[in-house]
A and B are shown apart, each in its own frame.
Chain A
Amino acid sequence: MRDKKDWNKIANREAIIGIALVLINFVWWYVFAYGLGSREPEEYTYILGLPDWFFYSCVLGFIVMVILVIVVVKFFFVEIPFEEDEEGEEK
């Protein structure tokens, strides 16, 4: 069994992952929205009927975040017990 210091480290690392995800999310959202969206509306191309900036920023950006969250949770998040007397997760 791991000791408490390890759990603390795990918790800290996961919080940092949260900050990293939000930064990625923001940059993706901002760059596509204002990078592509600042052109004249006449120059927009359309994907699934939506203006390209909107599709990439809001629709694709959302899907990318969902995939990132799934990957991060499945591969980087560790299941640790919360109670001091608890061993493993469920007995």
Chain B
Amino acid sequence: MNWFAIIPLIIFLVIIFLIGLYASKYVQSSTSFMQEYFLGERSLGGFVLAMTMTATYGSASSFIGGPGTAYTMGLGWVLLAMSQVATGYFVLMILGKKFAIVTRKYKAITIVDYLKSRYNSSVVVILSALSIIIFLFSAMAAQWIGGARLIESLTGISYTSALFIFAISVLVYVTIGGFRAVALTDAVQGIIMFVGTLVLLIAVIIAGGGIPNIIADLHAENPNLITPFGAEGTLTPAYVSSFWILVGVGVVALPQIAVRAMSYKNAKSMHRALIIGTIVVGFIMLNMHLIGVFARPILPGIEIGDKVMPLIALETMPAWLAGIVLAAPMAAIMSTVDSLLILVSSTIIKDVYINYIRPDASHQVIKRMSLGVTGILGIIVFIMALDPPDLIIWLNLFAFGGLEAAFIWPIVLGLYWRTGNKYGAIASIITGVGLYTLSDLLPMVYSKSEYLVSILPNYLEIFNNFFKPFGMHAVVMPVIVSFFAYILVSYLTRKKFV
């Protein structure tokens, strides 16, 4: 066991736990339990708001997978990652003050709440609650696996014990502290991410003998590594640009992000969050992915991308410092998981249970149910992460794109286009999620049937041209089609049902 790496991790967990305890006081004393537990009574200030958005968004994929891919692909992948700077200002500007005003008027505390009041349709409510539960539950499981693997590789304890430590620490503070605990711990985790990546980047640059030296080494190994096109020249401009939809502007439709756009106190907090958020997101993404690229000449030949981060930290820094810096990806994973947990829990309690099962539930019942559901959800995710079913892994791949395709137009056009109605929203959700999952499902199913393959042997090319035109990411086409579905259907049904 590596005690030097374990001690900073333990200190980190203790701090997070204390914040949970602090936040739980608000939950106990609040007059409106649900507003507090699921939304922190809309009291976030600018700094916490910016940090919780960034930290929720920066997950295992950006902290472990991202640098790993950058290691293999070179500067082209850093270019791709920089499309995420847009999330720092775009989400808050687009949902903006309108969302803050409207959700206050509706007294909405979840995204589904907002959709329910805007469209007055139980079909919209059920479709959206289902998408959130299915997709985010899978995303959560995948993040837990990432968290446990990281503890395992850092400390040398077994995967199961690592998962246990991870699960208990997240569950405790989320269950007792609710949204406020999530946001406050996110702020601490965001600071750790910010500082951790900076320290590690500096250590890597020093170990590599300065930036010019590192770039020269990369150029000598493979000139493509310092072009925008990736090590094998496979990153086309259309493909890279399409990530502006997936990880840039599309993020506005991720429920765990959008819900934060209704949690802040006033216009002043929003203004501060815009500036801080842009700086923090851009800084973390740039540094994080540069670390991956710069690690290549220092530690060549790492086969598994996910190991680049831990290995390079242990290589370039003393163990105790590496332990502190590696709390950063840990923080990234935790801050995503906690937000997903509270969101899925709020969807089950507020959107399903209170809407359809017990609208007259008493304050006490809701309180006990909320704490219970959050805890039970955590336990189910824990069991799934012990031996993850293939379905979860598959669904996780679609989680973000699927939610974006489902919600972007019902949320955004619902805010700004008065003619938009429930039929448009339903059409948009179905076409968005449907096309996006089909883009993977169809080629998979098709390839299994010999008969179908024999009548159309070049089916892959046809599917690719249809679902991924110009080599773009599969999320683009569903987002565009669901836009037209929303507009067209809303327009056609505008007079029929008033």
Interface residues of A (CB under 8 A from B): 7-8, 10-12, 14-15, 17-19, 21-22, 25-26, 29-30, 33-34, 37-38, 40-42, 44, 46, 48-51, 53-54, 57-59, 61-62, 65-66, 69-70, 73, 77-84, 89-90
Contacts and interface: CB of A to CB of B under 8 A. Distances in A.
Contact of B96 (A18, A34, A81): A18
Contacts of A89: 266-268
Q: Would you call the interface of chain B mostly helix, strand, loop, or mixed?
A: helix
A81 B269 CA distance: 12
Interface string B226-243: 111100000001000100
Given A11-B96, A14-B97, A41-B227, A62 B286 contact: yes
Interface in B205-226: 210-215, 219, 223-224, 226
Interface string B242-258: 00100011000000000
B423 interface: no
> What interface size band does chain B fall in?
35 or more
Contacts of A79: 266-268, 271
A17 B286 contact: no
A27 B101 CA distance: 32
A33 B228 contact: yes
Contacts, number: 136
23 contacts: A14-B93, A14-B96, A15-B96, A18-B94, A19-B94, A22-B86, A26-B241, A29-B83, A30-B237, A30-B241, A37-B228, A49-B212, A54-B228, A59-B286, A61-B85, A66-B282, A69-B278, A70-B275, A77-B267, A77-B274, A79-B268, A81-B267, A82-B266
B90 A18 contact: yes
Interface string B72-98: 000100110011011011100110111
Contact of B267 (A12, A69, A82): A82
B104 interface: yes
Contacts of B94: 15, 18-19
Interface core residue of B85, B215, B224, B241 (most chain A CB under 10 Å) = B85
A44 B282 contact: no
A80 to B, nearest CB: 6
